[in-house]
Structure 1
Amino acid sequence: MTRGMARRDLLGLTGVAVLGASLTGCEFLSTEPSTEPSPPASTDTKEAPELARLVADGALPPLEERLPEEPLVVTPVQEVGRYGGAIRRGELSLETGRNIVVFARASLVEWGLEKVEPVPALARSWEVSPDQRVYRFQLRKGVRWSDGALFTADDLVFWYESVLRNEELTPVVPGWLRSGSEPVELVKLDDHSVEFRFAEPNSLFLRYLAYPPNGLSILLPAHYLRRFHPEHTQTTELDKLVEEAGFENWMAYFSNRADAWHNPDRPVLGAWKVSRPPSGGTRAVMERNPYYWKVDTEGRQLPYIDRLEITAMDENVVVLRASGGEIDFQYSYLGTSNMPVLARSAESAGYRVLRWKYDAPGVDLYTNQSHADPVIRRLMQSLDFRAALSHAINRDEINQVLYNGAGTPGHPVAIPEDPYYVPGSGQRFLEYDPDTADRLLDRVGLTERDDDGFRLRPDGKPLRLTISTFTFESGIEPVDVYMLVKRGWEAVGIRTHVDNMDRSLWSTRITRNQFDIAGYIVAGYMWDINPGWFVPTDVSTYWAPLFGEWYASGGRSGEEPPPLLRRLQELYDQLTRAPDDETRLRLGREILAMHDENVWIIGTVSAPFQPVVVADDLVNVKEEAVGSYRTGHEGVTWPEQLFYRHPERH
């Protein structure tokens, strides 16, 4: 729960095999919050001791000068906390700023802590016009960047005029900031009021803003970044800076300076900022932002945790470190297949394992509806062919072998926690029935076979399908699933190859339409703000990239989809302009119903839960949540309000 409170009131407060038989150890694994009482928090101390020392030394302004006029007040999940300690985490690579999204998110609006819906954040309030074309935001007065400079509407104007509308930095305006082909218009009303004006209704705009990567993208410190932009700096001076820094052009240099993960000098608005960037190394450190604009119900500035320590390591090492009690809060790179070792070590290593929901629990198969080969395209666009592929998969075998019977067979049509989910969907063609698969394959014209018993295409050439995949987080090893799929398909005469490749190569091939079947997960939660999973909206629609490209380019490139898939695009356009939630939900469910009927993405088996390793004295972690990129991964539990019962141990 959050609410506003005046700064003077705050400062006056004074107190107040995966799951097999060998996993019987899970019985002792409690996911209940620890009942060990915390030592009483010192509520007369309104800031972290390390910040208080800086204030006493004259190196930092007093707290009342660092907080906004109305800080955002956070009601903790369980209780008010104590200052101190570090959270240790593991990452496969430190090149991406994933931990910024998780731990240093900031936005005009955020997903709520109690309920995942947009709530006030840097904007203390907003108004939406009846036609949902105009969104007016009132910014919190007195919010400061991590270097002490004031955050005002001018920062948003800088982002809009100098970045979004600069074609060298933003050649294509993101879809969430457009109405059709028209970019949004940002208007500054005063220092703390702005309007986003759309040419057409945009019913999803608040949800788009709450999506952490989007919300972060529009928050740029104008006072810092102007120096690196030609609209605000003399060309000769900027050219000299670019050359001295070793960049090819000002755009690359500007992007580097704006990168909060790799540039520790870049001011931020999140709870922590990078103090030790990765810079090609194996470790990064983030430390608390002394100007953070949230407080707890006792008026004490957040965050409670001093710092975050992120170390690069292999996926197997993540599991080993977690089981050894050397990771404090994480679900990334941990899956249900790791539960035996995590359960056995939990009590002795000092952690507990929560069971959150996966937002993309399955290992799925995207049939390429825009295949470059017209013969294969006709097959992929045939429901009989897709039904045959589905009936040839032995999901019970996959479930028993890889999930020990704990998984759930089904096709990806959102998860039950998604507001658009329709109960009972995703169940067509699930029965393992090779005979039916054979009949359907014959019916689509695949009656001829070669000397080895494999089917020939209608044009007489050998039929070969390749499942293109990579090692991704799914709770188990994805290639194991696809090898079992291969066995089922070859049993009905479809020669199949599983190509497990590097992720970057996979992305290149899929987005360039160079594939038969894409093997990956399907996000089933909050998909309306990231619609390519179910609607061809860009080249990252892994089951129809050419049709997605056509949509994203306004018809200038790609290929116009057939009527059925064009209908999905039309429904999504209507959804984004829906006059009310009832209409929006109806349209979203119609999109999912079309997937339920047509099975463009074939599912296998879904994992039962997402394990989350939590240090046993880390408090205020939500016991139940959906782990999702769209809600900031572990950030869904608002890490700024987490604390250790015994911070001196961390």
Structure 2
Amino acid sequence: MFDAKKPVLALALAVALLPFSALAEALPQLKESAFWQQEVDAGDLPPVAERIPETPLVVDLEAKGRAYGVQGGALNTMVTRSKDIRQMVVYGYARLVGYDADYKLQPDILLGYEVENNRRFTLQLRPGHHWSDGSPFTSADFEYWWKDVANHPQLSPAGPPDFMRVEGELPEVSFPDATTVVFEWTHPNPGFLHHLAQARPPFIYRPSAYLKQFHADYADPAALADEVDYARVKSWAALHNKYDNMYQFDNFELPTLQPWMNATVGKKIRQLFVRNPYYHRLDAKGVQLPYIDTVEMEIVSGGLVAAKSNAGEADLQARGLGFRDIPILRKGEKDGGTYKTHLWGTGTASQIAIYPNLNANDPVWRALLRDVRVRRALSVAINRAAINRALYFNLAKAGAMTVLEQSPFFDPALRAAWAQFDPDLANQLLDEVGLTEKDGYGIRKLPDGRRMELIIETAGERQEVENALQIITDDWRDVGVKLVMRPLDRDILRNRVFSGTTTASVWYGWDNGLPQPYTSPAYLAPTDQVFLAWPKWGQYYQTGGAAGEAPDMEPAQHLLDLLHDWETATTDEERSAAWRQMLKIHADQVYGIGIVAGAPQPVVVSNRLRNVPERGIWAWDPGAHFGVHRMDEFFFVDGEG
């Protein structure tokens, strides 16, 4: 039980705190889902009243301005890679705690939580909650993850994930009873709950009843050896990690807490996901969510997403669509009359950003790209207004990479920093660096005599990126820099960047362009190789110095110091101050050359689909794309998709 006398910074409880036996008096009689009725009648599945938790999460849709729906129907959507079936974990967005539409944390899988001084976190589970296979979901699943996975040297050689370490120390973790889990740190860990709400959650629990059959400490040795041999892996640890893939979502036998569970064996062109019979959410009329029975996810070529959406083959689609697709989508909307195209905002800090690799292996380019004058020159040589006009009809916002207007940290001066179109200044800065010698075509020469040809590698997935680089090619040629564009597969691109082979790359801006004081600014500091400007610094941080390179530039080290200030801060004012200083460093140092931000994201929605917001924000973090808008509340008219 919670002690009201304890010093509490945040206390959150679910909507329904009464046992379901008492709650049921205020709700209509629960009706069994037609989808599972046959299994219930055959005795293979308990009735719904026995499947839901004793205290389910009850959603008042009218209070949210939404309609109450009916169960049924199949929703069709598309992805462009087989591995992206994991988007069902993103879209489903069942989290211990999750963001609501206002980006405020609310309990979801948890019944509630208690926070004391950002050091002690008490997580309260829902009594009677079950995994999708009917096994109990209790504190034992957290204990299994903590003791038998995260701290097992063979399953997790690097130990628990980074966000569990504060000042290099791990928490004390205890499990007082079946529905209580306590994490306690010596120092504050203000970002702990927000990590749990991410689009890709850390999953600090596991379906222990299922996974123990693959764990050497629990399984019969002979049976485990047979499983290892059958799966053609080298060890029991490799076997366990193969099947323990809660985010990849490709093991149909792995129990889940998501609204839909994978029902497809192996990799298929069409992946089927069916409603989780033990899902913990109800609407206030007593109908178990999700409303939609099945989701069919088709894997198609990236170039076909817009065409197939135009033909009415998607009930809900945004992934794989971009601004350039709006005209063809509008035409299909008018001609076919089966869908509407909503235009949402985007949550990334920049639609397009160029990342000079400060850790490039080429010593000449490394030295040049580390000179801030070169990065500034490349930035001010870009005619962003022309790109916005030509590619986005002036509907985007030209400028440097920084947070969006919806963030309290937005400062127009940071968006304008080194983002003016000024070829004269670009020439002046490059001359100051000493790049004054040119060839017969006006291209500057590097200190070693090579032409100044900057190869920018792309994932080749967005036509607007290639179009923007074509415009930038002309801009840079005018200041003596030749841009060479090289499209690659996304995974190959990232591996080349991480290894230092790539000199520069292009991608989106920061995933989270909507930070609040509680948002960790770790992605602004060299803590992760995924930030393409400093992959080896990120590797060094992530591996505790075992790989990569230590940051050897003062501004980068200052970012790490400010991150530490945020992590140890005790007030929102102190955290906000750290955020603002870090954003100013990025604006001044131009680690990522932002081009435009805020271009509308088309979202195709079937005319028969309800509760999809007409206006929203398409964001990875925070928001999990459709997740923050609660896809389990979407429904088809009459339950027919």
TM-score by length of 2: 0.91
- What corresponds to 2:306 in structure 1? 319
Say which of 218, 241, 266 aligns to 1:255: 241
SS in 2 for 1:455: coil
> Residue by residue, what CA displacement relative to the aligned partner does 1:259-288 show, whole Å, maximum 9, x if unpaired?
3522212111111101114x2320100000
- What corresponds to 2:355 in structure 1? 366
Whether the aligned pair in 1 keeps the contact of 2:30 and 2:49 (CA below 8 Å) is: no
Q: How does 1:66-105 map to 2 (within 5 A)?
A: 66-76=51-61, 77=64, 78-105=66-93
Q: How does 1:255-274 map to 2 (within 5 A)?
A: 255-260=241-246, 261-274=249-262
- What corresponds to 1:12 in structure 2? 25
Whether the aligned pair in 1 keeps the contact of 2:30 and 2:286 (CA below 8 Å) is: no
Q: How does 1:223-262 map to 2 (within 5 A)?
A: 223-260=209-246, 261-262=249-250
Q: Counterparts of 1:411 and 1:478 in 2: how far apart (Å)?
A: 16
Structure 1 103/607 Cα, relative in aligned 2: closer, same or farther at 3 Å?
A: closer
Whether the aligned pair in 2 keeps the contact of 1:103 and 1:272 (CA below 8 Å) is: no
- What corresponds to 1:611 in structure 2? 602
- Identical aligned residues as a percent: 30
Structure 1 550/203 Cα, relative in aligned 2: closer, same or farther at 3 Å?
A: same
- Is 2:282 aligned against 1:295? yes
Question: How far did 1:439 drift?
Answer: 1.5
- What corresponds to 1:62 in structure 2? 47
TM-score by length of 1: 0.90
SS in 2 for 1:316: helix
Structure 1 14/73 Cα, relative in aligned 2: closer, same or farther at 3 Å?
A: closer
Q: Counterparts of 2:395 and 2:447 in 1: how far apart (Å)?
A: 40
- Is 2:396 aligned against 1:407? yes
Structure 1 3/609 Cα, relative in aligned 2: closer, same or farther at 3 Å?
A: same
Q: Counterparts of 1:531 and 1:579 in 2: how far apart (Å)?
A: 15
- What corresponds to 2:340 in structure 1? 352
- What corresponds to 2:433 in structure 1? 444
Larger mean CA deviation between 355-364 and 523-532 belongs to 523-532
- Is 2:320 aligned against 1:329? no
Whether the aligned pair in 2 keeps the contact of 1:82 and 1:647 (CA below 8 Å) is: yes
- What corresponds to 1:478 in structure 2? 465
Whether the aligned pair in 2 keeps the contact of 1:224 and 1:267 (CA below 8 Å) is: yes
- What corresponds to 2:481 in structure 1? 494
- What corresponds to 2:551 in structure 1? 560
- Is 2:151 aligned against 1:165? yes
> Residue by residue, what CA displacement relative to the aligned partner does 1:277-318 show, whole Å, maximum 9, x if unpaired?
4x2320100000111111111122111100000111112321
Report the AA paired with residue 469 of structure 2: Y
SS in 2 for 1:604: strand
Structure 1 61/156 Cα, relative in aligned 2: closer, same or farther at 3 Å?
A: same
- What corresponds to 2:106 in structure 1? 119
SS in 2 for 1:12: helix
Report the AA paired with residue 207 of structure 2: P
Structure 1 184/487 Cα, relative in aligned 2: closer, same or farther at 3 Å?
A: farther
Q: Counterparts of 2:32 and 2:197 in 1: how far apart (Å)?
A: 27
- Is 2:375 aligned against 1:386? yes
Q: Counterparts of 1:466 and 1:251 in 2: how far apart (Å)?
A: 41
Say which of 293, 305, 308 aligns to 1:306: 293
Whether the aligned pair in 2 keeps the contact of 1:415 and 1:524 (CA below 8 Å) is: no
Report the AA paired with residue 265 of structure 1: E
Report the AA paired with residue 49 of structure 1: A
- Is 2:565 aligned against 1:574? yes
Whether the aligned pair in 2 keeps the contact of 1:106 and 1:212 (CA below 8 Å) is: no
Report the AA paired with residue 255 of structure 1: N
- What corresponds to 1:25 in structure 2? none
- Is 2:455 aligned against 1:466? yes
Report the AA paired with residue 246 of structure 1: R
Q: CA RMSD in A?
A: 2.2
Q: Counterparts of 2:264 and 2:440 in 1: how far apart (Å)?
A: 62
Whether the aligned pair in 2 keeps the contact of 1:330 and 1:634 (CA below 8 Å) is: no
- Is 2:534 aligned against 1:544? yes
Question: How far did 1:10 drift?
Answer: 4.1
- Is 2:341 aligned against 1:341? no
Structure 1 578/626 Cα, relative in aligned 2: closer, same or farther at 3 Å?
A: farther
Q: Counterparts of 1:207 and 1:108 in 2: how far apart (Å)?
A: 10
- Is 2:589 aligned against 1:598? yes
Question: How far did 1:92 drift?
Answer: 0.6
Question: How far did 1:636 drift?
Answer: 1.6
**Where in structure 2 are there 5+ consecutive unaligned residues?**
1-12
Question: How far did 1:541 drift?
Answer: 2.1
Q: Counterparts of 1:448 and 1:538 in 2: how far apart (Å)?
A: 37
SS in 2 for 1:426: helix
Whether the aligned pair in 1 keeps the contact of 2:85 and 2:271 (CA below 8 Å) is: no
Question: How far did 1:55 drift?
Answer: 2.6
> Residue by residue, what CA displacement relative to the aligned partner does 1:550-607 show, whole Å, maximum 9, x if unpaired?
3223344412331111011111122223213232222112211211222221111235
Q: Counterparts of 1:531 and 1:541 in 2: how far apart (Å)?
A: 13
SS in 2 for 1:425: helix
Structure 1 542/418 Cα, relative in aligned 2: closer, same or farther at 3 Å?
A: same
Whether the aligned pair in 1 keeps the contact of 2:404 and 2:514 (CA below 8 Å) is: no
Say which of 582, 589, 601 aligns to 2:580: 589
Q: Counterparts of 2:412 and 2:14 in 1: how far apart (Å)?
A: 32
Larger mean CA deviation between 387-396 and 287-296 belongs to 387-396
- What corresponds to 2:5 in structure 1? none
Whether the aligned pair in 2 keeps the contact of 1:13 and 1:298 (CA below 8 Å) is: no
Q: Counterparts of 1:185 and 1:625 in 2: how far apart (Å)?
A: 40
Q: Counterparts of 2:412 and 2:398 in 1: how far apart (Å)?
A: 14
- What corresponds to 1:416 in structure 2? 405
Whether the aligned pair in 1 keeps the contact of 2:27 and 2:284 (CA below 8 Å) is: no
Structure 1 89/514 Cα, relative in aligned 2: closer, same or farther at 3 Å?
A: same
Structure 1 271/107 Cα, relative in aligned 2: closer, same or farther at 3 Å?
A: same
Q: Counterparts of 1:14 and 1:127 in 2: how far apart (Å)?
A: 29
Say which of 207, 212, 223 aligns to 2:194: 207
Whether the aligned pair in 2 keeps the contact of 1:3 and 1:72 (CA below 8 Å) is: yes
Q: Counterparts of 2:93 and 2:155 in 1: how far apart (Å)?
A: 22
Say which of 628, 636, 640 aligns to 1:644: 636
Structure 1 289/511 Cα, relative in aligned 2: closer, same or farther at 3 Å?
A: same
- What corresponds to 2:10 in structure 1? none
Whether the aligned pair in 2 keeps the contact of 1:367 and 1:600 (CA below 8 Å) is: yes
Q: Counterparts of 1:533 and 1:426 in 2: how far apart (Å)?
A: 18
Whether the aligned pair in 1 keeps the contact of 2:16 and 2:57 (CA below 8 Å) is: yes
Question: How far did 1:257 drift?
Answer: 2.0
Report the AA paired with residue 394 of structure 2: G
> Residue by residue, what CA displacement relative to the aligned partner does 1:55-97 show, whole Å, maximum 9, x if unpaired?
3332321222111111011223412111111110011112244
- What corresponds to 1:397 in structure 2? 386
Structure 1 89/144 Cα, relative in aligned 2: closer, same or farther at 3 Å?
A: same
Q: Counterparts of 1:95 and 1:600 in 2: how far apart (Å)?
A: 30
Question: How far did 1:202 drift?
Answer: 0.7
Report the AA paired with residue 235 of structure 2: N
SS in 2 for 1:499: strand
Report the AA paired with residue 174 of structure 1: P
Larger mean CA deviation between 568-577 and 417-426 belongs to 417-426
- What corresponds to 1:24 in structure 2? none
Larger mean CA deviation between 520-529 and 638-647 belongs to 520-529
Structure 1 57/175 Cα, relative in aligned 2: closer, same or farther at 3 Å?
A: same
Whether the aligned pair in 1 keeps the contact of 2:279 and 2:289 (CA below 8 Å) is: yes
